[in-house]
Chain A
Amino acid sequence: MRVSLHINRRARAVDVEPSSTLLDVLRDTLGIFDVKEGCGEGVCGACTVLLDGRPVSSCLVLAPTAAHRAIVTVRGLEDDGELHPLQQAFLRHGAVQCGFCTPGMLLTGLAFIERHPGADREALRHAIEGNLCRCTGYAKILDALEDYARESKRG
């Protein structure tokens, strides 16, 4: 079936099998590889995308059900070639090691901070509890999120 997917502010008509997940379509059909596949059961957070501004596991969304909704992958955070301020905070704090969890961390963190400007470390810790990182021990990721949350409050 043909569906219209709105990905990173661009509408794309795509042929999908009803049984394909949004993750399959993003990676295998459209080549959007900044979305990662980890567990395939919604636990690890590597495949996080924003759907109408809220984080979802793209491995647990059937592609047809994402039609006509705003999908944002980490690539969509850039603005005119400039990294998003949260991405810059990740760079400043060295919050990236292998990078596999990074897109999910950024999108989950951003969606949370947009709803809770100035969120403290404890709240941020709770916000990313569904995103697994096996490298960093989370400390630098939280440093970066905290930094950006402070910035966002000053707005």
Chain B
Amino acid sequence: MHAFDYVAPRSLDEALGVLAEHGEEAKVLAGGQSLIPLLNYRLAKPRVVVDINGLPLDGLSVAKGRLRLGALTRHAALEESLELARYCPVLREAAALIGNVRVRTLGTLGGSLTYADPAGELPMVMLALDAELAIAGHAGRRTVAAGDFFTGPLTTALAADELLIGVEIPMTRDMGGAVEEVSRRAGDFAIVAATALVRVDRRGRVDDARLAFAGVGPKPVRIAAAEELLVGSEPTSDRIAEAADAARAAVAPEADAFVSAAYRRLLVGVLARRALARAAARALAVH
């Protein structure tokens, strides 16, 4: 690892001041599970590492129909949270799939979202949940919808002098949800991952459906064509298969060193079907 200055600000203002001063030369350290490998391999050579672990940015609260999570909430805390089991089980399910147990001990929600790996579970789930990301900068605060936050592989709408401080998720307690993924080995990033959320009305017909994928392009995607197919009818296995076909037709994944584009596309269909079936069963159980 090359030498760098280490600062551990005690307040958000102090942290933003350091970022404003150093811009691109500074790297924010949260859980470190993506940054430190880059430092170990000298793929990142920041002049300053800004350790934000001393900032009061963790914790989970529920208010006014929204779930709020601090950026420093650890994956392990998401995975074990009883509140999430009640208010947002799909997020809990996604957190349990991240990396290995050591990554989940230290890794943070904000870190995963700002790192924005195209195969990451949390960016995909935030997109499915219509989450809003709260950002603080030297000039003030702003909110960005998950759909606008992820702009490409490892790139986001966050400026170098800004800090992601948390997320707000509109409540989805009446929806059933599920996350499915296939990876080469346990703990690897997914080849393809899918998140499904389904709500049914009193007659058992779908009135809200969300289907998001990771690993099929430069950033996580929602497949509106598949979602629209489901709304208005009962979530039968035939309907779900149609929606999965629509998803497979809508994506344009690329090959990499390990898998072909055709295999990725196949996984989109299979994982869509599995995730939607589980989400629909849970949605029906809500009633």
Cβ–Cβ contact B40 & A65, under 8 A: no
Answer yes or no: B32 CB below 8 A from chain A CBs: yes
Answer yes or no: A76 CB below 8 A from chain B CBs: no
Answer yes or no: A73 CB below 8 A from chain B CBs: no
Answer yes or no: B173 CB below 8 A from chain A CBs: no
Known: A59-B40, A62-B6, A130-B101. A43 touches B32 (CB 8 A): no
Known: A62-B6, A65-B53, A129-B186. A21 touches B36 (CB 8 A): yes
Note all chain B residues with C-beta closer than 8 A to A18. Answer: 3-6, 49
Cβ–Cβ contact B3 & A19, under 8 A: yes
Answer yes or no: A103 CB below 8 A from chain B CBs: no
Answer yes or no: A133 CB below 8 A from chain B CBs: no
Q: Which residue of A has the minimal Cβ distance to B37?
A: A41
Note all chain A residues with C-beta closer than 8 A to B29. Answer: 62, 65
Q: Which residue of A has the minimal Cβ distance to B31?
A: A60
Cβ–Cβ contact B6 & A21, under 8 A: no
Answer yes or no: A42 CB below 8 A from chain B CBs: yes
Chain A positions 51 through 75: 1 when the CB is less than 8 Å from some CB of chain B, otherwise 0: 1001111011110110000000000
Known: A18-B5, A20-B1, A60-B36. A41 touches B41 (CB 8 A): yes
Cβ–Cβ contact B101 & A127, under 8 A: yes
Note all chain A residues with C-beta closer than 8 A to B100. Answer: 42-43, 45, 129-131
Note all chain B residues with C-beta closer than 8 A to A19. Answer: 1-4, 6, 39, 49
Answer yes or no: A1 CB below 8 A from chain B CBs: yes
Cβ–Cβ contact B186 & A60, under 8 A: no
What CA separation (Å) do A83 and B51 show in the bound complex?
37
Note all chain A residues with C-beta closer than 8 A to B36. Answer: 21, 42, 59-62
Which residues of B in the span 23-51 have a Cβ within 8 Å of any Cβ on A?
29, 32-33, 36-37, 39-41, 49, 51
* Chain A interface size range: 20 to 34
Q: Which of B102-110, B151-159, B251-259, B272-280 contacts A (4 or more CB under 8 A)?
A: B102-110
Q: Which residue of B has the minimal Cβ distance to A44?
A: B100
Note all chain A residues with C-beta closer than 8 A to B4. Answer: 18-19
Complex A-B, nearest 5 residue pairs according to Cβ-Cβ distance, in ascending order: A130-B100, A18-B6, A129-B186, A54-B105, A41-B37
Answer yes or no: B56 CB below 8 A from chain A CBs: no
Note all chain B residues with C-beta closer than 8 A to A56. Answer: 102, 105-106
Note all chain B residues with C-beta closer than 8 A to A108. Answer: 101-102
Cβ–Cβ contact B76 & A54, under 8 A: yes
Answer yes or no: B99 CB below 8 A from chain A CBs: yes
Cβ–Cβ contact B37 & A60, under 8 A: yes
The CB with the most chain A CB atoms within 10 A, among B6, B33, B49, is that of B6
Note all chain B residues with C-beta closer than 8 A to A65. Answer: 29, 32, 51, 53
What CA separation (Å) do A89 and B47 show in the bound complex?
48
What CA separation (Å) do A141 and B141 show in the bound complex?
51
Answer yes or no: B187 CB below 8 A from chain A CBs: yes
Note all chain B residues with C-beta closer than 8 A to A131. Answer: 100
Cβ–Cβ contact A48 & B40, under 8 A: no
Which residues of A in the span 1-43 have a Cβ within 8 Å of any Cβ on B?
1, 17-21, 40-43
Note all chain A residues with C-beta closer than 8 A to B102. Answer: 42, 45, 48, 55-57, 60, 108, 130
What CA separation (Å) do A115 and B53 show in the bound complex?
25
Note all chain A residues with C-beta closer than 8 A to B160. Answer: none
Known: A19-B6, A51-B106, A130-B100. 20 other contacts (CB 8 A): A19-B3, A19-B49, A20-B1, A41-B37, A41-B41, A48-B102, A51-B105, A55-B101, A59-B40, A60-B36, A60-B102, A62-B29, A65-B29, A65-B32, A127-B101, A129-B186, A129-B187, A130-B99, A130-B103, A131-B100
